[in-house]
């Protein structure tokens, strides 16, 4: 019986390509093994998690709430943080209370006109806490930047029974009160709201609410005094001119008294408004590495 001829060799991929594919598979398995044994920083895990949530829940090209997949999110490369603050700024409830300014040192968020403190006190009002909670959640949990908090006082004298020896002490206590609110009240609030994420390791409050990120700075009443001098300069010049006109006999005493009263009322009103504007808190989200 005649033998069957062996089947002709069928064409297939070159031998080097098969070897290359095997090497790729081995390398992938090696790195997967390394990754499975590695520990992931809770903060980085949350950043990745937030990144996937943003991709799934937002239209293409839109970054919401400052959620970034970058390993070390920067304000300069993360417009979502600024955009989220602008959304709060647009809320009628907080109209005129938030100002955002990009400076050489970082993003400056001014929170004012919210009656943050009682006169001569460093106790935060309920409205201040509400606004700080909304702003704090964004700037603290969606960046790793240092946060500098500035406190101020008006030019009004301290009450006689004040526990603060100077306006510098009061302004520093106000800045510290905001930092304390972030590190205690807001941290606990967020841990309770995200309890399942905390238990699964997706959210670590200690990573974001790290005391080393915060610096409290007291500015005293110097900025308020400078603003009053600058913004009331034209009025004081007009008062001086009136006195000179009276001394030269160009106007009567009655005219001097009437015009001086109008200007003094305007001066007092402007001074009061400036002092009220310094019942505020500034938060500087500093650029990384500064």
pLDDT 10s digits, 89-102: 889 988 889 999 99
Q: What tokens does 46 get?
A: 């949350």
**Alpha-carbon Rg for the chain in angstroms:** 31
Backbone angles phi, psi at 158, to 5 degrees: -70, 150
Considering its fold, how many domains does the chain have in total? 1
In a domain, 101, yes or no: yes
Backbone angles phi, psi at 110, to 5 degrees: -100, 125
In a domain, 208, yes or no: yes
Which DSSP category does 118 fall into? -
Binned at pLDDT 50, 70 and 90, residue 289 comes out as low
Binned at pLDDT 50, 70 and 90, residue 25 comes out as confident
In a domain, 259, yes or no: no
pLDDT given for residue 43 in this prediction? 46
* C-alpha distances out from residue 232 to 204, 209, 239, 264, 275, Å: 49, 42, 11, 10, 13
- pLDDT surpassing 70 at residue 175: yes
In a domain, 98, yes or no: yes
* pTM of the predicted structure, to 2 decimals: 0.70
* CATH code of the domain in which 170 resides: 3.30.1330.60
In a domain, 83, yes or no: yes
Contacts of 280 (CB under 8 A, 6+ apart): 110, 111, 112, 113, 114, 116, 152
Report the candidate in 103, 49, 96 with the shortest Cα–Cα distance to residue 76.
103
pLDDT given for residue 115 in this prediction? 78
Contacts of 162 (CB under 8 A, 6+ apart): 120, 170
pLDDT given for residue 6 in this prediction? 54
Say how far apart CA 95 and CA 93 lie, in whole Å.
6
In a domain, 19, yes or no: no
pLDDT given for residue 147 in this prediction? 97
In a domain, 200, yes or no: yes
Domain residue limits at 164: 74-227+272-286
pLDDT given for residue 30 in this prediction? 64
In a domain, 183, yes or no: yes
pLDDT given for residue 290 in this prediction? 57
- For 223, other C-beta atoms within 10 Å of its C-beta total 18
Q: What tokens does 36 get?
A: 């499975």
Binned at pLDDT 50, 70 and 90, residue 257 comes out as very high
Lowest mean pLDDT among 4-13, 106-115, 170-179, 244-253: 4-13
User: Please, what is the average pLDDT of the chain?
Assistant: 81
Mean pLDDT across 117-141: 92
């Amino acid at each position: 019986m005649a033998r069957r001829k062996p089947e002709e060799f069928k064409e297939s991929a070159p031998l080097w390509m098969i070897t290359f594919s095997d090497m790729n598979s081995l390398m992938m398995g090696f790195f997967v093994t390394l990754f499975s044994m590695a520990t992931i920083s809770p903060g980085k895990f949350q950043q990745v998690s937030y990144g996937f949530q943003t991709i799934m829940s937002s239209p293409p090209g839109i970054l919401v709430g400052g959620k970034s997949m970058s390993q070390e999110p920067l304000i300069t490369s993360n417009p979502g943080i600024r955009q989220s603050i602008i959304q709060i700024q647009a809320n009628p409830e907080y109209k005129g209370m938030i100002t955002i300014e990009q400076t050489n040192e970082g993003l400056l968020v001014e929170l004012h006109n919210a009656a943050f403190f009682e006169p001569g006190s460093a106790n935060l009002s309920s409205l201040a806490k509400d606004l700080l909670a909304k702003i704090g959640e964004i700037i603290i949990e969606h960046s790793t930047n240092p946060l500098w908090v500035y406190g101020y006082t008006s030019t009004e004298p301290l009450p006689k029974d004040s526990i603060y020896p100077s306006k510098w002490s009061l302004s520093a206590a106000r800045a510290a009160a905001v930092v304390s609110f972030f590190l205690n009240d807001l941290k606990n609030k967020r841990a309770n709201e995200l309890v399942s994420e905390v238990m699964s390791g997706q959210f670590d409050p200690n990573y974001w609410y790290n005391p080393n990120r915060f610096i409290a700075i007291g500015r005293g009443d110097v900025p308020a005094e400078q603003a009053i001098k600058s913004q009331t300069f034209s009025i004081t010049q007009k008062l001086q001119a009136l006195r000179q006109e009276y001394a030269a006999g160009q106007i009567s005493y009655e005219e001097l008294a009437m015009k001086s009263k109008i200007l003094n009322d305007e001066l007092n009103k402007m001074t009061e408004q400036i002092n009220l504007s310094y019942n505020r808190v500034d938060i500087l989200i500093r650029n990384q590495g500064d």
